[in-house]
Amino acid sequence: MNEWITAANDVIWSYALIWALVGCGLWFTWRTRFVQFRMVGEMFRLLTESVVSTTKGVKHISSFQAFAVSVATRVGTGNLAGVATAIAVGGPGAIFWMWVIALIGAASAFVESTLAQLFKQKHKDSFIGGPAYYIQRGLRLRWMAILFAVLIAIQFGFASISIQANTICGAMEEAFGWSPLWVGIALTLMTLLIIFGGIQRIAFVSSILVPIMAVGYVLLALVIIIINIDQVPNVLKLIVLNAFGFEQVAGGSIGAVIMIGIRRGLFSNEAGEGSVPNVAATATTTHPVKQGLIQALGVFTDTLLVCSCTAFIILISGIYQTTELNGIALTQSSLQAEVGSFGPFFVAIAIFFFAYSSIIGNYYYGEVNIRFITSSPKVMTLFRLFSGGVTVMFGALASFDLAWNIVDFFLALLTACNLLAIVLLGKYVYRLLEDYRQQKRKGIKEPVFHRSQIPELEDKLDCWE
């Protein structure tokens, strides 16, 4: 089974999805007039203001909380284990292509998250939405919406959660010698406790865990980089030369380097994949473009900051050249080479927070789409038990290669479906972005959108009265 999935992944990623990802990213970059670069200042302004709004006691999901949940799913095993795998398989040059796909993909992230806000629906104490919703409302293709909902429920309710659990157990075994079985049992109980609390509890936990874990990890990486500042020019040179096929260390052909860099980059930052829009839709905001900008910033936070920290730690240590280690074990060994025996323990603790927050965030993506298919409480309870219980235990005990191959397979199918949808619906995002810019030029600090501004969609929008 593992061999079959590996072969299928190689075909899909080599001949179709990579070019679709890059092509769509470039198209959206051009059509939005380089929104991910021109409006970086606005992204930080919106995020800062939304942090303040979370303290007002209003029962809703703020833009910052939605950002925190999405970063929680992005900043996980992809940043520590995924980067290590990219270097081990594709060489240092794979990091360059992770950067490229993040810079280009931020435009795709902006488009899909803006669409999620536009087509969101009212749901209890927050909103609900995502690709399944904008496919059904915007394209009127119920079958395609159901297909996406099924794919994302499998990907995030099973595949992605299993890889997070697999990485946590591997890190704990490497650092403390703890049995994956017992770690898996403890992780299962903790996960079930959180996910039965709903999006409010998930958002609350993520908004606390994400800043703490991200800042702590980045600070440690910066200390290591500063101590080894003389090696930084050589590391950058190594990444660039290997990216274009020169002085290959571990990878082979340039095609292999590009493929592994983009695959691991997409798994990490999720730009264009269709996952982040599910939580982007939950935020309470005055204009759809606001959440699109904030989620584009999340791509930069994930890949250009956190992934780069892991890459520099591994490349500075040089461990990747003299070992067969892969995944989280390579990251732990590299950190140990720089800070001593403290390294593996720190990574084990960091990966627990990174991956655990990803588990609960990934579960929510699955829940949203199960709710899209059916409103049955019994089905939802079964999904929670399966996703938080069976899946976590499977990931704890499954092999490293099998877990990653399952993730890559469903990730490819999911991304292809979402890219087609956002290309067809992108015209609405361009109009929304122009409206947002016009209001800003008029001196309006907080632009507001009303559904009457897009007459042909007025009967399809549940919000924005």
User: What pLDDT digit, counting tens, does each position of 399-434 carry?
Assistant: 667 777 777 778 888 888 999 999 999 999 999 999
Regions of the chain with pLDDT less than 50: 51-58, 248-252
DSSP code at position 33: T
pLDDT at 1: 54
DSSP code at position 58: -
Q: Which DSSP string corresponds to 134-173? A: HIIIII--HHHHHHHHHHHHHIIIIIHHHHHHHHHHHHHH
Please tell me the distance from the alpha carbon of residue 232 to that of residue 216, in angstroms, as a whole number: 21
pLDDT at 205: 61
pLDDT at 54: 43
Please tell me the distance from the alpha carbon of residue 22 to that of residue 197, in angstroms, as a whole number: 38
Angle between helices 142-154 and 400-441 (to 10 degrees): 130
The pTM for the full model equals 0.82
CB 35 within 8 Å of CB 110: yes
- For 346-358, how does the pLDDT look when each residue is reduced to its tens digit (9 = 90+)? 767 777 777 777 7
Please tell me the distance from the alpha carbon of residue 318 to that of residue 330, in angstroms, as a whole number: 11
Residue with tokens 């264009």: 272
For residue 298 the two structure tokens come to 């999340």
Map out the domains of the chain with their CATH numbers.
Answer: 2-460 (1.20.1740)
Q: CA torsion, points 211, 217, 223, 228, in degrees to nearest 10? A: -140
Spell out the residues 6+ positions from residue 408 whose beta carbon is closer than 8 angstroms to its own.
5, 9, 13, 263, 267
Please tell me the distance from the alpha carbon of residue 12 to that of residue 20, in angstroms, as a whole number: 11
